[in-house]
């Protein structure tokens, strides 16, 4: 009996501990959302609020967000921003949060994954409303193609910065070979054939023979003329440049099997399998990242996003950037993440102010000068003083940068297919396996795209950029 | 007696509650969800009966059959390989040689390396141009392979990478081997039998319960292969390594079709149950228990 009472006391004590722990937990959550005893605070007019925000990204990027948040919190003393950095499996985590009704106020989103599925269910604010009523920011003040719309007039996200593609190269290789480097002005851009010719001259086997010489050994290549990766971000540049698209202009049919797109894809595959001037996807596994590959002369040129500038600048060698070869029209695809505001937020106006603070190039100036990001405001490209701030006297911005990247993105940019092709992910689930065979040279682009055209067509649901 | 029951329940409560809350509950929930069109992002969920299952088997979703085929191929290659290899390694480790503890440690060590780390190592080893494996084959003038990067060799290559982590299976075999009484071997020595007779008539019959256990665990583990597709191949090339669980995960978390993913999960559950059942059924004829037939 005595024994039993003692154990009951122990149990009670345990229960009490549990209760305190639990109440402590719930208390802290209520503190976050408008605690009632805030009436005694210094700013009686405005209640203190907390905005929750989720992002992914490298530590430097998170540091840039923190700078933006500090500036924002200094301006709005009643607002605290709770920044959650989700380094891996971002979409999985966010999906779980949505399923559990534990949604952030503002979130970084990727257009190619769950952003549009969420938007289709009405989970995001239409940012057009905010843009219309804001005196500091408007659609025209932003760089083209950095807004994502569910349909015309329904903006679901704005990118903190655009990203475009360029032709990066090692200047020393060109000097030693006595070849003129890639032009940086769009008006002088190489045609595809000119590009292939140069790439051949710069592709060298282990015996020192280049790809346009007799006896060239394609199996033992020491230096590739060009490295070109095979994800849609890269080949979309050439599909658009050739007048092709992923879906037809009316959004009704699958278009990667059309002549313009097929030709562009075939030309890329030929670089690997016919001309042997670019590593195939299998060989590309040996090619280090662009900065190392160019520095160590494993490749002479590389088509990559402008974000590669950071690594290149840190590598300390003579690199430069030119415009990509042009098929019919010079085009660069703009890819970027976006900030979206969840409809469930209790403070939409404050979230919008935060979004603006995050877009401010001044706040992320470190990332911009380091080379990873580009500003999202147009005047940073057109006002000489502002432009100089992030393009002059910087390791990350070589001499060709202004012409090859800045000019091109302002005048020749195309929206990423993820932004306007409905059901893009599902279409690509069908396209990508077929393209595997094209990159490996087992099928022509025409055969591969025709073989899956009917299945891809079933997944085509239209375009977001037309009514 | 009642007091004993009370304490018994009290102390097993964490395990029981854990099972109910984190295993049984979600299982029932997923069974119910598999009969709905639940999409995480949609506010409305409606009951659609067996439509998800019909979609699977009617061929409307051809990736279902594809991923199932890929997974079966993997299981068929991997299970015998794991069982045979780990049995022989265990035999070797059970011998009385110098440095036995060290060998045992070496064999077991890969099992504690995180899956992601070992996957990265294998990606380097299997690199077609610079990888160690092809370099050695080249040096020996043997044919090389594209390993993970071509359609034909991707599944055997993945099997190869998983064989690296058989340490725990070996440990279980070792336990089974060391449970065999020495007298039996001595009896064969007296009768003048060699190592083959020992293996054939004593070792193998005596470890059949261990083989049985390991086979079941390996079958279950092989059907649930995920990390390899997630890290090594992403299902490619040309969907040739689109493992079932990877496809299930993609459906649930990338496409947020949780209802359909739940249905996929239940089909996998049934498949695993079926094969486990088959192995159990046949076990009566080949598993030897020392205490006689197990009822």
The pLDDT score that the predictor gives to residue A25 is 46
The pLDDT score that the predictor gives to residue A39 is 41
Instruction: List the beta bridge partners of residue B205.
Output: none
The pLDDT score that the predictor gives to residue A5 is 58
Beta-carbon contacts of A465 under 8 Å, excluding residues fewer than 6 positions away, are A149, A152, A415, A419, A420
Q: Of the candidates A360, A348, A349, A350, which has an alpha carbon nearest to the alpha carbon of residue A137?
A: A360
Give the model confidence (pLDDT) of A383-396 as tens digits.
999 999 999 999 99
Place of tokens 């050994």: A217
Contact assignment for B41 to A123 by CB distance below 8 Å: yes
Q: How far apart are CA A109 and CA A339, in angstroms?
A: 6
Q: How far apart are CA A287 and CA A306, in angstroms?
A: 18
B3 contact residues in A (CB cutoff 8 A): 4
The pLDDT score that the predictor gives to residue B124 is 86
The pLDDT score that the predictor gives to residue A58 is 87
Task: Give the 3-state secondary structure of A418-449.
Answer: HHHECCHHHHHHHHHHHHHHHHCCCCCHHHHH
Q: Average pLDDT for residues B278-291, to the nearest whole number?
A: 86
Nearest CA in chain A to B130: A286
A117 contact residues in B (CB cutoff 8 A): 41, 255-256
Instruction: List the beta bridge partners of residue A170.
Output: A319
Q: What CA–CA distances, in Å, run from A190 to A208, A304, A375, A425?
A: 26, 17, 28, 32
Q: Average pLDDT for residues B122-151, to the nearest whole number?
A: 87
A285 contact residues in B (CB cutoff 8 A): 123, 127-129, 149
Alpha-carbon distance B202 to nearest alpha carbon in chain A (angstroms): 49
A112 contact residues in B (CB cutoff 8 A): none
Alpha-carbon distance B77 to nearest alpha carbon in chain A (angstroms): 24
Structure tokens belonging to residue B74: 């993997």
Phi, psi of A304 (to 5 degrees): -150, 170
Place of tokens 């949060």: A97
Task: Give the 3-state secondary structure of B228-240.
Answer: HHHHHHCCCCCCC
A120 contact residues in B (CB cutoff 8 A): 41
Supply the angle between the helices B167-178 and B204-223 in degrees, to the nearest 10.
160
Residue A330 near residue A323 (C-beta atoms within 8 A)? yes
The pLDDT score that the predictor gives to residue A15 is 58
Supply the angle between the helices B154-163 and B62-93 in degrees, to the nearest 10.
40
Please, what's the b/e burial string for B91-130 (b: 16 or more CB within 10 A of its CB; e: otherwise)? bebbeeeeeeeeebeebbeeeeeeeeebbeebbebbbbbe
The pLDDT score that the predictor gives to residue A34 is 43
Cis peptide bond N-terminal to B237, omega within 30: yes
Place of tokens 């971002």: A90
Q: Average pLDDT for residues B173-184, to the nearest whole number?
A: 90
Q: Of the candidates B59, B53, B57, B70, which has an alpha carbon nearest to the alpha carbon of residue B265?
A: B53
Neighbours of A263 (CB within 10 A): 20
Q: Average pLDDT for residues B162-187, to the nearest whole number?
A: 91
Give the model confidence (pLDDT) of A412-449 as tens digits.
999 999 999 999 999 999 999 999 999 989 999 999 99
Chain A neighbours among B 63-92 (CB < 8 Å)?
63
Question: Concatenated DSSP letters for A107-160?
Answer: EEE-TTTTHHHHHHTT-B--HHHHHHT-SS--GGGBPTT-EEEEETTEEEEE-S
Q: How far apart are CA B266 and CA A208, in angstroms?
A: 59
The pLDDT score that the predictor gives to residue A23 is 46
Instruction: Label the pairing between strands A106-109 and A49-55.
Output: parallel
ipTM metric: 0.78
- Does the CB of B254 have a partner CB in chain A at under 8 Å? yes
Q: What CA–CA distances, in Å, run from A119 to A157, A165, A299?
A: 10, 28, 41
For testing the chain B interface, which of A282, A288, A456 should be mutated: the one with the most B CBs within 10 Å?
A282
Is A360 in a helix, a strand, or coil? coil
Burial of A460 (0-12, 13-18, 19+ CB in 10 A): buried
Q: What is the pLDDT confidence band of residue B293, given thresholds at 50, 70 and 90?
A: low
Residue A445 near residue A439 (C-beta atoms within 8 A)? no
Nearest to B43 among A121, A283, A440 (CB): A121
List alpha helices for B192-257, DSSP H.
195-198, 204-223, 227, 244-249
Q: What is the pLDDT confidence band of residue B65, given thresholds at 50, 70 and 90?
A: very high
Give the model confidence (pLDDT) of B231-262 as tens digits.
888 887 888 999 999 999 999 888 889 999 99
Using the Cα atoms of residue B156, residue B158, residue B164 and residue B170 in order, give the sign of their dihedral. Answer: negative
Nearest to B41 among A92, A117, A286 (CB): A117
Digits of tens for pLDDT over chain A (467 positions)?
455 555 656 555 655 555 554 444 444 443 444 444 444 444 456 789 999 999 998 888 899 899 999 999 999 999 999 999 998 889 999 998 998 889 999 999 999 989 999 999 999 999 999 999 999 999 999 999 999 999 999 999 999 989 999 999 999 999 999 999 999 999 999 999 999 999 999 999 999 999 999 999 988 899 999 999 999 999 999 999 999 999 999 999 999 999 999 999 999 999 999 999 999 888 887 788 999 999 999 999 999 999 999 999 999 899 999 999 999 999 999 999 999 999 999 999 999 999 999 999 998 998 999 999 999 999 999 999 999 999 999 999 999 999 999 999 999 999 999 999 999 999 999 999 999 999 989 999 999 999 999 999 999 999 999 88
Phi, psi of A122 (to 5 degrees): 70, 30
Phi, psi of A75 (to 5 degrees): -80, -40
Q: How far apart are CA A434 and CA B232, in angstroms?
A: 19
Instruction: Tally helices (H) and strands (E) across chain A.
Output: 21, 13
Structure tokens belonging to residue B214: 């390991």
Contact assignment for B237 to A433 by CB distance below 8 Å: yes
Nearest to B41 among A98, A281, A283 (CB): A98
Contact assignment for B237 to A113 by CB distance below 8 Å: no
Q: Of the candidates A361, A341, A363, which has an alpha carbon nearest to the alpha carbon of residue A352?
A: A341
Nearest to A433 among B3, B129, B236 (CB): B236
Phi, psi of A117 (to 5 degrees): -55, -40
Nearest to A92 among B150, B237, B253 (CB): B253
């Amino acid at each position: 009996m005595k024994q039993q009472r003692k154990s009951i006391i122990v149990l009670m004590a345990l229960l009490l501990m549990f209760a305190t722990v639990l109440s402590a937990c719930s208390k802290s959550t209520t503190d976050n959302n408008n605690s009632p005893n805030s009436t005694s605070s210094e700013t009686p007019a405005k209640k203190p609020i907390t905005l929750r925000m989720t992002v992914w990204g490298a530590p430097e990027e998170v540091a840039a967000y923190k700078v933006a948040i500090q500036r924002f919190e200094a301006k709005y003393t009643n607002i605290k921003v709770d920044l959650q950095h989700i380094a891996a499996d971002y979409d999985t985590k966010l999906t779980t949060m949505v399923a559990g009704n534990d949604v952030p106020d503002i979130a970084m989103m990727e257009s190619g994954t769950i952003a549009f599925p969420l938007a289709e269910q009405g989970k995001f604010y239409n940012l057009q409303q905010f843009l219309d009523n804001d005196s500091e920011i408007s659609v025209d003040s932003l760089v083209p193609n950095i807004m994502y719309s569910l349909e015309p007039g329904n903006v679901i996200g704005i990118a903190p910065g655009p990203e475009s593609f360029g032709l990066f190269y090692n200047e020393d290789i060109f000097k030693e070979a006595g070849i003129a480097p890639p032009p940086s002005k769009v008006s002088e851009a190489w045609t595809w054939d000119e590009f292939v010719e140069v790439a051949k001259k710069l592709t060298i086997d282990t015996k020192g023979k280049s790809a346009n010489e007799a006896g060239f050994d394609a199996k033992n290549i020491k230096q590739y003329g060009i490295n070109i990766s095979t994800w849609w971000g890269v080949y979309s540049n050439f599909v658009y440049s050739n007048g092709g698209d992923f879906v037809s202009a009316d959004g009704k049919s699958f278009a990667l099997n059309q002549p313009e797109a097929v030709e562009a894809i075939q030309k890329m595959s030929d670089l690997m399998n016919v001309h042997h001037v670019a590593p195939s996807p299998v060989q590309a596994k040996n090619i280090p990242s662009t900065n190392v590959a160019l520095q160590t002369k494993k490749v002479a040129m590389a088509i990559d996003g402008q974000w590669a500038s950071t690594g290149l600048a840190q590598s300390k060698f003579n690199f430069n950037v030119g415009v990509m070869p042009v098929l019919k029209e010079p085009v660069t695809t703009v890819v970027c993440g976006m900030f979206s505001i969840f409809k469930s937020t209790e403070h939409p106006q404050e979230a919008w102010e935060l979004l603006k603070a995050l877009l401010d190039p001044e706040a992320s100036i470190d990332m911009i000068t380091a080379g990873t990001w580009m500003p999202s405001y147009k005047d940073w490209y057109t006002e000489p003083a502002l432009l100089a701030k992030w393009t002059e006297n910087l390791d990350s911005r070589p001499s060709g940068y202004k012409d090859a990247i800045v000019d091109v993105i302002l005048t020749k940019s195309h929206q990423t297919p993820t932004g306007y092709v409905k059901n893009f992910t599902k279409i690509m689930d069908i396209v990508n396996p077929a393209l595997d065979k094209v990159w490996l040279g087992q099928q022509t682009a025409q055969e591969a795209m025709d073989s899956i055209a009917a299945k891809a067509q079933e997944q085509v649901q239209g375009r977001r950029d037309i009514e | 007696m009642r007091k004993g029951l009370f304490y018994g329940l009290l102390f097993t409560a964490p395990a029981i509650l854990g099972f109910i809350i984190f295993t049984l509950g979600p299982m029932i929930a997923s069974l119910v969800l598999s009969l709905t069109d639940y999409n995480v992002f949609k506010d409305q969920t409606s009951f659609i009966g067996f439509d998800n299952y019909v979609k699977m088997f009617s061929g409307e979703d051809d990736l279902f059959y594809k991923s199932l085929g890929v997974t079966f191929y993997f299981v068929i290659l991997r299970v015998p390989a794991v069982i045979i290899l780990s049995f022989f390694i265990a035999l070797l480790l059970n011998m009385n040689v110098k440095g036995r503890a060290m060998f045992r440690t070496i064999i077991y060590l890969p099992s504690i390396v995180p899956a992601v780390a070992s996957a990265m190592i294998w990606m380097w080893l299997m690199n077609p141009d610079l990888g160690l494996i092809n370099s050695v084959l080249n040096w020996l003038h043997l044919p090389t392979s594209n390993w993970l990067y071509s359609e034909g060799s991707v599944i055997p290559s993945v099997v190869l990478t998983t064989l690296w982590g058989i340490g725990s299976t070996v440990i279980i075999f070792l336990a089974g081997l060391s449970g065999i009484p020495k007298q039996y071997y001595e009896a064969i020595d007296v009768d003048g039998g060699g190592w083959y007779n020992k293996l054939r008539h004593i070792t193998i019959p005596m470890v059949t319960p261990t083989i049985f256990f390991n086979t079941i665990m390996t079958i279950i583990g092989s059907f649930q292969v995920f990390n390899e597709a997630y890290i090594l191949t992403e299902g490619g090339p040309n969907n040739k390594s689109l493992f079932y669980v990877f496809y299930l995960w993609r459906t649930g978390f990338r496409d947020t079709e949780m209802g359909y993913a739940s249905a996929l999960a239940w089909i996998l559950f049934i498949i695993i149950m079926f094969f486990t059942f088959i192995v159990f059924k046949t076990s009566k004829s080949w598993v030897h228990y020392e205490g006689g037939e197990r009822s």
